[in-house]
Structure 1
């Protein structure tokens, strides 16, 4: 086997997988006589450990291996299982998604969840989008807006993670997530007081959150980093979407692509709204948008703590405190 792992530091969050373990999961999934010709670890992701695996049977497959159970978070646990359960609800964009080939959540082979998927055509958008002239990138964001709209049209049974638990009130789902994020910070020895203050301030206007009465599907991570583009195309053409593991039922305005599309007004990102449509701008909607911005900031804070990025951690705590002040006005 041509085994090419990424060399990581001992304290990195992503843990290595041996050549023997890759061979074991391949045989468990595809048969005892299947050989692995190569297993090349892919960079770019920060959570699962991902390999492109050549089985000598045509196109390689993708192997994604989740963190060990003890490394799962309170706020966003078992992301791979959440994605697996979400697949039927992502039917409106099924033509863009990888196909699941084999999955094992038993931990009997390697003690971690793992999933084999088909390999999407194209090249990662993160590596090539900026090679296009800025005006041409507008077509990418326009198409991304259409994908987000198609996802948001799907209605759900309650608010919260697709894998559950779900809640009847939107505020309950959000505040439960904040509480679990605070627990993650506390467990790792970090400051969580700002999260408690955020919930306290937002709770004063809980009724404004619960004006959102119909749960819609949120992708949770739809943006440049999780999209494939056609290789060599004259214009950036989306051929695939991957890493759909942060799906939620909630207010579409709270979704990650909505947050990012608003971050650079006056840029090519404005084309996103041409296919997505315009958001409501009522006073209540603007207040909810601050809560959602705070949720994204807390999510990023958890990521930065996991990576040990001190500068980003300090800046994000500052952003959260500023948002608390604006919510309290």
Structure 2
């Protein structure tokens, strides 16, 4: 078996498997007689540990994704892989774009961590291919992003909060709880969480504005170019798949990460709105968007801390302070 892990520091958040563990997972999923030809760790993701695995007798590789050990997971990122698995029936409208789940194991009997084996998506990761096209063709990509996001946001749920729970009856309750989890994670990381708690207090005080959102809608939570596949040979950027849908959430669609990124710059991405539809720019919607930005910045702070990006952590306080001034 050829085994190629990514070289990481001993204390890195993403912990690799051994070759023997990859073989043990493969035997659990495919039977004791399976033969693993190779397992190559993919280094593009920043949360799960992911391998492309080739097996004897199978024409196409499979993707093995392994969650962090339970004790390494933040409260605000609890059991994300299980959340993704629970969301799949609700994402039926975009099934052709998603990898197929071949096996999933939450028992921890094999390696002590959640893991999932998925089909290998066709195409090339968008960050590796999009830049090969002239920028005049990029709007086609973002129009497709808008159409996909509109389809996802049309899916209705029965509660607010992560798809796999906990469940909340109101949007304000879900959002305040999420901010509280982020603040507690920051405490555990030894970082100042006072600004996030102030945002949570404002959100609780102004719950009536948040609870104008009465119908839970599906949000992918973390979707943008980084987890999008495109056709390597198409004459214009053509989306063939999306992956890492583990942060799905029943929410106000305007709180979705995809919406934040579509609004981030006045460049080719403005084509997103041609298919998604116009934004709600009412005063209450604008106010809510600032609360959502604060939540995004809190999550970004945690991720930057996890990656050892001290400068980015410091910058998040400045950015969040500006947002807090606009909502307090």
Could you say whether these structures have the same fold, taking a TM-score greater than 0.5 normalized by the shorter chain as the test?
Answer: yes
> What is the distance in 1 between the residues matched to 2:59 and 2:87?
28
Partner of 2:277 in structure 1? 277
> What is the distance in 2 between the residues matched to 1:93 and 1:308?
35
Secondary structure of the residue aligned to 2:88 is: helix
Indicate whether 1:196 and 2:201 are aligned: no
Partner of 1:24 in structure 2? 24
Partner of 1:69 in structure 2? 70
Partner of 2:9 in structure 1? 9
> What is the distance in 1 between the residues matched to 2:189 and 2:207?
29
Contact 1:202 1:327 in 2 (8 A): no
> What is the distance in 1 between the residues matched to 2:164 and 2:203?
25
Indicate whether 1:145 and 2:146 are aligned: yes
For residues 267-306 of structure 1, the aligned pairs below 5 Å read 267-306=267-306
| Runs (5+) with no aligned partner, structure 2 | none
Partner of 1:122 in structure 2? 123
Secondary structure of the residue aligned to 1:51 is: strand
> What is the distance in 2 between the residues matched to 1:273 and 1:319?
25
Deviations 1:234-285 (A, max 9, x none): 10100000000000001010111111101112x1001000110011111101
Larger mean CA deviation between 135-144 and 190-199 belongs to 190-199
> What is the distance in 2 between the residues matched to 1:59 and 1:301?
38
Larger mean CA deviation between 182-191 and 207-216 belongs to 182-191
Partner of 2:226 in structure 1? 225
| Aligned pairs, number | 327
> What is the distance in 2 between the residues matched to 1:264 and 1:15?
35
> What is the distance in 2 between the residues matched to 1:125 and 1:52?
18
> What is the distance in 1 between the residues matched to 2:121 and 2:9?
29
Partner of 1:93 in structure 2? 94
Secondary structure of the residue aligned to 2:22 is: helix
Partner of 1:37 in structure 2? 37
Secondary structure of the residue aligned to 2:247 is: coil
> What is the distance in 1 between the residues matched to 2:202 and 2:28?
51
Partner of 2:206 in structure 1? 205
> What is the distance in 2 between the residues matched to 1:202 and 1:99?
38
Secondary structure of the residue aligned to 1:279 is: coil
Partner of 1:183 in structure 2? 184
TM-score normalised per structure 2: 0.98
Residue 208 of structure 1, CA deviation: 0.3
Contact 2:196 2:294 in 1 (8 A): no
Partner of 2:315 in structure 1? 315
Residue 199 of structure 1, CA deviation: 1.3
